[in-house]
A = this chain, B = another copy of it.
Amino acid sequence: MEKQNNEIDSVAENLAHIVPILKRIFIKGLRTKTNLSPQTLYTLGALSYHSKLTMSGIGNHLSVPKPHVTALVDKLISEGLVERLSDERDRRIIYIQLTDKGKETFKEIKRMMTEAFRSDLSMFDEAKIHKMYECSLYIRDTLDEMAKSLQAGCCSGN
């Protein structure tokens, strides 16, 4: 049990350590190439993964206060990248989903993102890249699983 707690702490430390590195790799590389803010890009990503989310759902996923979600979505709508869908059974709820243009745009954004990363990672050999693939997928799946269980509101005004 002691060992297990130590390992959890190391996981936390390792993951916290890579956040600024990842931000540097992905966000900064995109800033000059698009007029979308990081959070609108995250919003596109969340919608690409979940295909359909409520306003509150977006806020929970990205830990963004609800009032700001409205602003983010307004921006994306003005760019024609997402659309609102009303729920017939509960008319308070508004679903957001990518438009075709949004899907295309996000695909292009991912392309630009991976392009930069490709030259960075290409210094490593095939085995290492494969292991990076396995590890990143494992962490992604685990964190997704974990995130599901903490959907509840998390930040003020949410």
Chain A residues engaging chain B, CB cutoff 8 angstroms? 4-5, 7-28, 42, 45-46, 49, 61-63, 110, 113-114, 117-118, 120-124, 126, 128-140, 142-144, 146-147, 149-150, 154-155
Complex Cα spacing A5 to B10, Å: 30
Return chain B residues, CB-CB under 8 Å to A5. Answer: 118
Return chain B residues, CB-CB under 8 Å to A15. Answer: 22, 25-26, 117, 136, 140
Complex Cα spacing A112 to B16, Å: 12
Copies of this chain, how many?
2
Whether the pair B28, A137 counts as a contact (CB closer than 8 A) is no
Excluding A12-B118, A20-B62, 20 further A-B contacts by CB distance (< 8 Å) are A5-B118, A7-B132, A9-B117, A11-B136, A13-B113, A13-B114, A17-B45, A17-B49, A18-B22, A18-B140, A19-B27, A20-B42, A20-B45, A22-B22, A22-B143, A24-B61, A24-B62, A24-B63, A121-B146, A123-B146
Return chain B residues, CB-CB under 8 Å to A61. Answer: 20, 24
Complex Cα spacing A135 to B131, Å: 9
A117-B11 contact given A4-B129, A17-B140, A142-B124, CB 8 Å threshold: yes
Whether the pair B12, A114 counts as a contact (CB closer than 8 A) is yes
